[in-house]
Structures are given as C-alpha cells and as structure tokens.
C-alpha cells in the first residue's frame, strides 16, 4: 500500500497523546509502547509490563476499578492486545468509565523482527471492541484524530477504545527501569502515598 508513508509515526503520536496528561495513570505493554511512553516523559505514574504478554488491558481494568476517580490508560500494541483479546469482552461487561485502551497498530510483531501480524491481514480490533459493547471507539489515522482522542482521554466518558494506525518504523529503544519491584512500588507510592509501602 502506498498509503504507508502517510501513516502516523508512533512516537510523535504518543508524545502528543500524553502531553499535559495531569495525573493520568498509564499501564504500558511490551515492547514498543513502553519505549514510546518512556520517551514521552518518565513518571512514576507509568506502570510498565515487560512480560506477561496479553495482560495490559486486564491490569488496567483492575486498576481502573480500584481507582474510579483517576483516568487509567492502557497503552499497548496490536499483538499484545490480541494475546489477551478476551479482556475486551470482560471490559465490555464491567465498563469502567475511567478506563481507556489505546492500541498502537503497526500490523507487525515489532520486537521480534517485524513479522506481519493479524491486523495487517484484516483483523479489526476496533470492530471487536464495538462488538464487545465498548461504545466509545476511535479509529485514529492522523494527528487530528490524536487531538480528538486526547480530549476524550481527559474528559470523555469511557470505557474508550482506540486503534491508532501507525507506520511500521521502529524508533530507537528508550529503556525505562526494568526492575518490576521498583516500578510497582514507586507507582504505588506516587498514587497512594508513602504509607502504602508499609501495607
């Protein structure tokens, strides 16, 4: 497809999406979504999942249910979501209004050599989300769409599901703290306060 060169660049898209994010909580999944989130700015309110592929959406669900007054964003890739695709059915049942699932869809297994993935062959993640009862679905292909999604993330009713179609280019890795113990505890401290570390 000669449209390819017109597709969004993932890092610019995520940087804009997370600009002035206030106290939004972000759960990001392996691998490139993590590098994109870290490149947008290190903060203890990012929880990174470098393994347990397929668990980003369900982890964000548990967090959103526990913290109904905070906006929770699950930021992940198409293959990561597909590995736990049943989570969308569960989220469609639970429907927490503070939860958003945003998928960076490059149609590739990006971290393993760029092999073609299901969405490149037609799997319609936004359609799956809609059929699971998630009513606020965005199909984003340009920066105008990013602006609309950004507004929805900050003020719109959820759960929100968005697919951002991005090009297959892989920007340089921006490695965050890899130690899960540290990432989890600084997240809890930032969200719940220092005394939460004593619980």
CA of residue 94 relative to chain centroid, distance: 18
CA dihedral defined by 186, 23, 37, 90, rounded to 10 degrees? 90
Omega prior to 29 cis, within 30 of 0? no
- 98 touches other proteins by CB under 8 A: no
Among 46, 58, 106, 165, binds other proteins (CB under 8 A): 58
Total residues at the site for other proteins (CB under 8 A)?
A: 39
What does DSSP assign to residue 172? P
Q: Residue 77: enclosing H or E segment and its boundaries?
A: strand 72-77
Among 90, 97, 115, 131, binds other proteins (CB under 8 A): 90
Binding characters for other proteins, 129-168, by CB under 8 A (x = yes): ----------------------------------------
Among 26, 28, 61, 81, binds other proteins (CB under 8 A): 61
Binding characters for other proteins, 62-81, by CB under 8 A (x = yes): xxxxxx--------------
Concatenate the DSSP letters of all residues of 51-94 into one string.
SSTT-HHHHHHHHHHH-TTS-EEEEEEHHHHHHTTHHHHHHHHH
- 196 touches other proteins by CB under 8 A: yes
Closer Cβ to other proteins, 86 or 147, answer by number:
86
What does DSSP assign to residue 194? G
- 3 touches other proteins by CB under 8 A: no
- 177 touches other proteins by CB under 8 A: no
For the chain, give percent helix, strand, coil, nearest 5: 45, 20, 35
Among 13, 53, 129, 153, binds other proteins (CB under 8 A): 53
Measured distance CA(75)–CA(81) in Å, rounded: 10
Among 8, 17, 37, 60, binds other proteins (CB under 8 A): 60
Count how many residues are written for the chain.
199
Footprint of other proteins on this chain (CB under 8 A)? 25, 27, 47, 49-67, 84, 86-87, 89-90, 93-94, 180-181, 183-185, 187-188, 191-192, 196
């Amino acid at each position: 497809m000669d449209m390819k060169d017109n597709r969004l660049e993932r890092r610019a898209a995520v940087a804009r999406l997370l600009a002035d994010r206030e106290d939004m909580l972000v759960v990001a999944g392996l691998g490139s979504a993590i590098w994109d989130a870290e490149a947008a700015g290190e903060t203890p309110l990012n929880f990174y999942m470098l393994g347990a592929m397929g668990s980003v959406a369900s982890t964000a669900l548990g967090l959103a249910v526990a913290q109904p007054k905070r906006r929770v964003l699950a930021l992940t890739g198409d293959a990561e979501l597909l590995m736990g695709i049943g989570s969308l059915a569960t989220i469609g049942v639970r429907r927490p209004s503070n939860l958003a699932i945003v998928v960076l869809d490059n149609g590739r297994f990006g971290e393993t050599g760029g092999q073609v993935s299901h969405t490149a062959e037609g799997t319609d993640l936004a359609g799956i989300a809609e059929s699971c009862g998630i009513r606020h679905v965005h199909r984003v292909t340009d920066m105008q769409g990013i602006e609309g999604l950004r507004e929805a993330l900050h003020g719109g009713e959820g759960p929100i599901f968005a697919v951002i179609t991005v090009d297959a280019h892989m920007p340089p890795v921006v490695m965050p703290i890899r130690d899960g113990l540290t990432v989890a505890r600084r997240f809890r401290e930032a969200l719940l306060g220092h005394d939460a570390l004593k619980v």
